[in-house]
Structure 1
């Protein structure tokens, strides 16, 4: 069962669902809570000869990723990040989310931004029970316009579903919880698998 706006507010007020900084009650509508874009981005370097062979050793993947990723960059709060058509970057939410073990979250892009060609996640829109951290966004400009993304803007919405019970292996329980307590933009850690 998906939580409605009134239930989202109750879960937050009872501290069953923890979001910091605390959201304004105006950002909770219908069945979602709006979340904002931070000023942190990670950009892939342009490379036409870098190949990540996912069957190779973990050291090979780690080397190629480190060589072909830039450092995390920060944009001043009064500036915008320019996302050109067909560009892909990683970004971060302002909000940090702590999910209880009986709740799952879903990240969705805003329709108004999607109509301009902005995708905010490629495939990873699930927020697992037991998750704690800021959410990394996989931003892709599929449109024809250059998009100026401003820190603090509403970038996405979260919705929540109650599980049929408490998860026996929540995200923070797994041996491979690679991104738990994420505060910065961590690039792919697939080489740890």
Structure 2
């Protein structure tokens, strides 16, 4: 069962669902809460010879990913990040989310931004039970216009579903959860699988 706006407020006020900084309750609508874009981005270097062979050993993948294929940048709050058509970048939310073990979250883009071609996640829109950290957004400009993204803008919405019980193996259960307590934009750690 998906939480409605009033239930999202209750879960936040009772600190069952922790969102830091505490969100403006006016940004909870129907069944979602709006979240904002931070000023941190990760941009990928253009390379015509870099091949990441996902069928190779984890050491091979790790060696390619460790070759500094991207840079994390931080822009001033009053500046904009420019995302050109057909370009991909990672970004971070301002909000940090701490999920209880009986709740799963879903990240969705805003319709008004999608209508301009902005995708905010490629496939990873689930926020697992037991997750803690800031959310990395997978930005892609599928449109024909250059998009200027400003820190602090409302970029996405979260919704939440109650599980049938408490997860016996939540995200924080594993000793080495790859992205747990994420505060910065971590590149792919697929080689740790």
SS in 2 for 1:191: helix
Shift of 1:68: 4.8
Aligned to 1:161: 161
Question: For residues 48-84 of structure 1, what are the alpha-carbon distances to aligned partners after superposition, in whole Å with 9 as ceiling and x for unaligned?
Answer: 1110011212222122123252221001000000000
Aligned to 2:191: 191
Aligned to 1:41: 41
Query: 1:40-119 to 2 correspondence within 5 Å?
Result: 40-119=40-119
Shift of 1:85: 0.2
Residues of 1 paired with 2:2 and 2:149: CA distance? Answer: 30
- Which ranges in structure 2 are unaligned for 5 or more consecutive residues? none
Q: How many residues align?
A: 193
Aligned to 1:137: 137
Question: For residues 113-154 of structure 1, what are the alpha-carbon distances to aligned partners after superposition, in whole Å with 9 as ceiling and x for unaligned?
Answer: 000000000000000000000000000000000000000000
Deviating more after overlay: 67-76 vs 122-131:
67-76
Residues of 1 paired with 2:149 and 2:115: CA distance? Answer: 15
SS in 2 for 1:112: helix
Aligned to 2:146: 146
Shift of 1:28: 0.6
| TM-score w.r.t. length of structure 2 | 0.98
Q: Which runs of 4+ in 1 moved over 4 A?
A: none
Residues of 2 paired with 1:131 and 1:64: CA distance? Answer: 28
Residues of 1 paired with 2:44 and 2:65: CA distance? Answer: 9
- Which ranges in structure 1 are unaligned for 5 or more consecutive residues? none
Shift of 1:176: 4.5
Contact 1:102–1:163 (Cα < 8 Å) also in 2 = yes
Matching of residue 2 in structure 1 with residue 2 in structure 2 = yes
| TM-score w.r.t. length of structure 1 | 0.98
SS in 1 for 2:67: helix
Shift of 1:100: 0.2
Contact 2:44–2:71 (Cα < 8 Å) also in 1 = no
